[in-house]
């Protein structure tokens, strides 16, 4: 049985070497290459692989940080030019730790560990946020957090991530605000390209800003009319 592989590395020469090693290995198939961790996270939302070859020093998120966000059962082999992270990689249950330049015999030895262990998981793409009647589960790092809708003050977007803000926490999850908007109940409204608010937590609206506690949230022209129409339906 062939193992599908994802390469995550920002160095083109390292990618070429790994792709060549995979082609030489009869039980490996190259599925895809990503050039940084955020690209890999997005790709893994809708795809699964049996094994990830993961560089450590990359922009945005390091390979170690990415590994911490992945399902614990996902096999990962770290590939790096630095030996400093070896202990940390094993604490994260990495299959192996390959130092660049990676020779084919060392590469094959690491890949064989996955094959011999019989680790051929088809890891389902676990959504970062799922819907329920009164609460959601939010995947943040390796944790699944149960958060009541009524505890959410607002949600802020940051590229492909969101920050869910409650009175006691700021929870970061890999989810697009647009996708999250479609799963939230009616007490939430999109008020800006980067914000969703909980109507039950709004204290006042002044000009083009919404106040929730001490947080001032912008109200953009795109969402202003629909938002104010909803407010007016509740006016005394």
Give pLDDT, residue 92.
67
> From the CB of residue 88, how many other CB atoms can be counted at a distance below 10 Å?
15
> From the CB of residue 151, how many other CB atoms can be counted at a distance below 10 Å?
15
Residue 223 backbone zone (phi > 0: left; psi -120 to 50: alpha; other: beta) = alpha
Check if the beta carbon of residue 32 is closer than 8 Å to that of residue 6: yes
For residues 75 and 179, state if they share a domain.
no
- pLDDT per residue over 112-142, tens digit each? 999 987 644 444 444 444 444 688 888 887 7
The C-alpha atoms of residue 102 and residue 104 are separated, in whole angstroms, by 7
Last residue of a domain, one of 83, 116, 149: 116
Q: Report residue 159 as tokens.
A: 């590229």
Q: Please give the average per-residue pLDDT across 183-206, as a whole number.
A: 91
In a domain, 121, yes or no: no
The C-alpha atoms of residue 2 and residue 142 are separated, in whole angstroms, by 28
The C-alpha atoms of residue 228 and residue 219 are separated, in whole angstroms, by 10
181: confidence class by pLDDT, cuts 50, 70, 90: confident
For residues 104 and 58, state if they share a domain.
yes
Last residue of a domain, one of 87, 116, 145: 116
Question: Which residues neighbour 182 within 8 Å (Cβ) at sequence distance 6 or greater?
Answer: none
Which residue range forms the structural domain that includes residue 83?
3-116
Last residue of a domain, one of 59, 91, 116: 116
Question: For the chain, how many structural domains are there in total?
Answer: 2
């Amino acid at each position: 049985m062939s193992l599908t592989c994802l390469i995550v590395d920002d160095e083109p020469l390292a990618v070429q070497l790994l792709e060549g090693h995979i082609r030489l290995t009869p039980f490996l198939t190259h599925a895809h290459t990503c050039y940084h961790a955020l690209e890999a996270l997005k790709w893994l939302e809708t795809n699964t692989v049996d094994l990830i070859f993961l560089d450590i020093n990359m922009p945005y998120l390091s390979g170690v940080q990415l590994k911490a966000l992945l399902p614990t059962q996902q096999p990962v082999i770290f590939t790096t030019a630095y030996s400093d992270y070896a202990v940390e990689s094993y604490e994260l249950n990495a299959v192996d730790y390959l130092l660049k330049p990676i020779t084919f015999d060392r590469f094959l030895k690491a890949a064989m560990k996955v094959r011999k262990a019989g680790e051929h998981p088809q890891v389902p793409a676990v959504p970062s946020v799922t819907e329920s009647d009164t609460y959601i589960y939010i995947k943040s790092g390796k944790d699944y957090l149960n958060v009541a809708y009524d505890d959410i003050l607002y949600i802020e977007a940051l590229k492909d991530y969101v920050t869910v803000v409650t009175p006691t926490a700021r929870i970061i999850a890999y989810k697009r605000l647009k996708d999250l908007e479609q799963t939230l109940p009616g007490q939430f409204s999109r008020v800006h390209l980067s914000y969703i608010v909980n109507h039950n937590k709004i204290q006042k609206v002044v000009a083009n800003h919404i106040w929730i506690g001490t947080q001032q949230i912008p109200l953009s022209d795109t969402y202003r009319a629909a938002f104010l129409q909803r407010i007016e339906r509740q006016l005394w």
